[in-house]
Amino acid sequence: MQITEPAAQNARYFRPRRLGHVNLWVDDIQKSENFYSEVCGLKVEFTEPDLIATFLGTGHTPHDLGMMQKTNGVPRYGRNGLLQLPGTIGLTAGLNHLAWELKNEAELVQGYRHLKQDDIETDITVDHQVAHSVYMFDPDGNYNEFYCDTVKDWRKVLTGPMELLTSHWDPLQAEGFTEGRYEETPVLEIVESAPVHPWRLTHATLQTPRLEEMVEFYTTIAGLRVVAREAGVVYLVAGMDDYDYNLVLVSADDAAYHHASFQLKDEAALERAKRVLPSSGVTIEQETRLPWKHSIFLRDPDGLLSEWYVPGTAPRDLAARGGLPLAMAV
């Protein structure tokens, strides 16, 4: 069922343009980097060896996918002694955070100040050198980053192994620039030799036992707009018109990150991936052929799912999914 509720433009806090990236905790950074670059075709844009982190993408943003090696209980520090990764987090492989790209610093600062005025808790605020960020948790404990780009030509700043990037940033002291420093016509690059040729990250899927609380957070705080509801599933979108949705919430007994979804350019790219993947030793976990999408799901070295898909032309009808698990049919 297509619906509209409520408009992101009326949000008091944040009004993101899109889902900028997904960041994962991984067990072995090199194995995961190899999988997402050599198999999935995401180009390694830069790394932070001291943070044990890798950042990959297609070029729409500084990275579509980030990954950090688990802390195993040992804290890691950013610039100037900033406790960036406490040893109490990152103990298991899975979602680190979802990152929402805002138009400019003025909107980020205004949203943060409204949160403070309303006594709504946030976690950390940081300067990543190419972005300013505010972090906070949703009702299920999923970590969210709300950020704005601070450098338009980010490839001149971020390339190869980087020394520690992140330091403290105080939104209450920021002037708040109003121009958008994101790239409107980005240069896209992928790993041509990889079986999968991705185009862009579009959305993430979360399972939740608190569906309405999560909808309230992602509309009121995160500024997303509900565009459809069906069979225990809610689809939400940020501000950019060329994304159908950026987050899917699926009702479930337990809270869990299910997968991130990457759109391919066309059906030919998907068929090529299916044909070439066997030679890479990677098994397709699930193929979906539904009127509203055609996709393959892959498991990374930690067992985390990712979806690589081409949208269909027919409207969604989850009742017609057959035996396919709900979170894979959305």
**Tens-place pLDDT, residues 206-247:** 999 999 999 999 999 999 999 999 989 999 999 999 999 999
pLDDT in the model for residue 212: 97
Query: What count of other Cβ atoms lies within 10 Å of the Cβ of residue 236?
Result: 24
pLDDT in tens, 298-308: 999 999 999 99
pLDDT above 80 (res 9):
no
Distance CA 65, CA 223 (A): 22
Look at the alpha carbons of 204, 207, 210, 212 in this order and tell me if their dihedral is positive or negative: positive
Across 277-298, b (16+ Cβ under 10 Å) vs e yields: beeeebeeeeebebebbbbbbb
Q: What share of the chain is helix, strand, coil (3-state, %, to 5)?
A: 20, 35, 45
SS3 label, residue 69: strand
What's the chain's average pLDDT? 95
Beta-carbon contacts of residue 3 (< 8 Å; ≥ 6 apart): 226, 227, 228, 229
- Asked if 273 contacts 296 with a C-beta cutoff of 8 angstroms, the reply is yes
What's the Cα-to-Cα distance from 35 to each of 38, 191, 203, 217, 229, rounded to whole Å?
A: 6, 12, 20, 33, 34
pLDDT in the model for residue 253: 98
Distance CA 238, CA 246 (A): 6
How is residue 11 written in tokens? 């949000």
Q: Average pLDDT in the 54-68 region? A: 97
Q: Average pLDDT in the 83-97 region? A: 96
pLDDT in the model for residue 10: 57
| Backbone φ and ψ of 218, nearest 5° | -75, -15
| Backbone φ and ψ of 126, nearest 5° | -140, 160
pLDDT above 50 (res 319):
yes
pLDDT in the model for residue 4: 53
Distance CA 330, CA 132 (A): 32
pLDDT above 90 (res 5):
no
Q: Average pLDDT in the 48-65 region? A: 97
Distance CA 2, CA 208 (A): 21
pLDDT in tens, 120-159: 999 999 999 999 999 999 999 999 999 999 999 999 999 9
Beta-carbon contacts of residue 75 (< 8 Å; ≥ 6 apart): 83, 85, 86, 87
pLDDT above 80 (res 67):
yes
pLDDT above 70 (res 76):
yes
pLDDT in the model for residue 12: 83
How is residue 24 written in tokens? 């994962």
Please name the fold of domain 11-173: 2,3-Dihydroxybiphenyl 1,2-Dioxygenase; domain 1 (3.10.180)
- Asked if 244 contacts 313 with a C-beta cutoff of 8 angstroms, the reply is no
Query: What count of other Cβ atoms lies within 10 Å of the Cβ of residue 229?
Result: 16
